[in-house]
A and B are shown apart, each in its own frame.
Chain A
């Protein structure tokens, strides 16, 4: 062992490792990206199929009582997708985000990162951004899959309303990732972070039951992709979009402040 070890030459210098590349590798070298995309695409393909063949499925399992369902409309394909993904997809997003942000759960790793980072933002920004981007990408893939299959099985969907729905769903997911980031500043473990984040996100719709608050809560955006295919307009979702957009940087700032103060 020598402090002046002769530096071996690199044949082909790899791209430098940075906090951003670290997060990209976290997604691609572990099953995270596949789990995320797989979940959304699976339900994207399943939603329209179940809408199309729901009558057949019911007929197969009915006993005695005959259930007659209305003929499925194109909107039902997306409604099925959103109802199935709104909870399962959210759980996967939160677990993956929490895994990236709970570096304080391992003291050795936390010391390595904290004593080298120039600021807490240097650690938080790539983790938040890559998690949010991956969640939006997976959601977009799932929506495109549902859209394609709905068009194939049930009929065409209005592109304008679909894109508006995609926007609302994406803004909600980014908000959800920021909630998970804030939760990581309150709990050290991944499990604790997931619990706090899901608790907050699942409590929001309950809060929305209190009449006038409903339109302002980010949770309203979850069902927007379905409602926008009906009579709803994007204007009705502007308050929720505004709150989600404003809350995200505030939650990140609060998380960064709290993580900076925390003892390892």
Chain B
């Protein structure tokens, strides 16, 4: 859906350098990276509001079907929320009507504020309004820059749920520094650091690749037989008894552990209390990856 080749924008040492982005059609693509990594520059170049020094950008849909919501949306404060979204509608989808505008406002959680002037909106409400404007044209490519940064936990959950539901119907690129949000909705991920793309691919693959697969196992009764059985497994690299019925298990891969632990427990007749992955999240993978690249 979106492909860049050798994309470079040099702001004198910062910016973007030789970025080859590949966003699969219909995917939710999370663009993550620390502050100043180049996320907003990347999205701005894709949307055409900034120019690249070098490289190419290919977007496989007409410009009118690309919708953008910036990290800090701003509107003329003397317009009502309805008028703001209606303006967006008249520019990108003039064939639609006022009812679609109200539907977009309701989708963004602003159904009750359609007639209010946006000058009095909180930052979270303004961000929702930006989202309503982005949704009005039923875009085929939706670009969201930090869409949850100003929202409270409930609002974040709603927006993430909305983004997740768009998967398959619309390609979504969204940048965020909240890695838990990205992990929750993004099937693909790109990690930027200092303007360079460190990783790009399926989110789960990143987690699998950059994590030391580790689990905390709790069993009822004597843990010694379980300890011995798991130590005997070829996939187990380290097993440690933490006291009581708790064991920490390291495996050669997530896949090996996820298959091997239940099978071994079943074979030795252990009574399982719980088994949870340790640090198996994007944040740990991100830290591992950015640490490796230093």
Please give the residue numbers on chain A whose beta carbons come within 8 Å of chain B beta carbons, in ascending order. 1-3, 5-10, 13-14, 16-19, 22, 25-26, 29-30, 106-112, 114-118, 122, 261, 263-264
Contact = CB atoms under 8 A, between A and B. Distances in A.
B115 to A, nearest CB: 10
Contact of A108 (B47, B48, B74, B89): B74
Contact of A115 (B68, B71, B90, B111): B68
Contacts of B47: 111, 115
Nearest to B45: A263
A6 to B, nearest CB: 7
A3 B107 contact: yes
B78 A6 contact: no
A116 B71 CA distance: 16
A5 B114 CA distance: 15
B20 interface: no
B49 A264 contact: yes
A30 B75 contact: no
Given A7-B99, A264-B49, A1 B76 contact: no
A8 B87 contact: no
Contact of B75 (A3, A5, A112, A114): A112
Main secondary structure of the interface of A (DSSP, over half): loop
B90 A18 contact: yes
Contacts of A118: 64, 91
B21 interface: no
B49 A114 contact: yes
Interface residues of B, number: 50
B49 A112 contact: no
B102 A112 contact: no
A237 B192 CA distance: 62
A107 B161 CA distance: 27
Interface string B43-69: 010011111000000000000101110
A262 to B, nearest CB: 9
A264 B44 contact: yes
A115 B47 CA distance: 7
B90 to A, nearest CB: 5
Interface of B: 44, 47-51, 64, 66-68, 70-76, 78-79, 82-83, 86-92, 94, 97-100, 102-103, 106-109, 111, 130, 133, 135, 158-159, 161-162, 165-166, 169
Interface of B is mostly: helix
Contact of A111 (B70, B92, B108): B70
A180 B90 CA distance: 27
A5 B107 contact: yes
Nearest first, the 8 A-B pairs at minimum CB distance are A108-B74, A17-B86, A7-B103, A116-B91, A5-B106, A1-B158, A264-B49, A109-B74
A108 B73 contact: yes
A16 B73 CA distance: 22
> Which residue, of B86, B159, B169, has the highest number of chain A Cβ atoms within 10 A?
B86
Given A108-B70, A263-B50, A116 B111 contact: no
A45 to B, nearest CB: 29
A16 B71 CA distance: 27
Contact of A17 (B68, B78, B83, B135): B83
Contacts of B48: 114-115
A195 to B, nearest CB: 23
Contact of B98 (A6, A13, A111): A13
Nearest to B97: A13
B10 to A, nearest CB: 13
Most chain B beta carbons < 10 A, residue from A5, A109, A115: A115
Contacts of A17: 79, 83, 86-87, 89-90
A112 B103 contact: no
A16 B97 CA distance: 8
A128 B102 CA distance: 31
A11 to B, nearest CB: 10
A18 B78 contact: no
Given A7-B102, A8-B111, A17-B83, A112 B88 contact: yes
A102 B63 CA distance: 24
Given A112-B88, A114-B49, A264-B49, A107 B70 contact: yes
Contacts of A25: 78-79, 83
Contacts of B130: 108, 112
B161 A1 contact: yes
A1 B90 contact: no
Contacts of B66: 115
B170 to A, nearest CB: 9
A263 B68 CA distance: 16
Given A1-B108, A5-B111, A16-B90, A22 B76 contact: yes
10 contacts: A7-B102, A8-B102, A8-B106, A10-B99, A13-B97, A25-B79, A26-B76, A109-B74, A118-B91, A122-B91
A60 B108 CA distance: 67
B103 A6 contact: yes
B88 A116 contact: yes
A71 to B, nearest CB: 49
A126 to B, nearest CB: 11
Given A1-B158, A13-B97, 5 more contacts: A3-B135, A3-B166, A5-B107, A111-B49, A111-B68
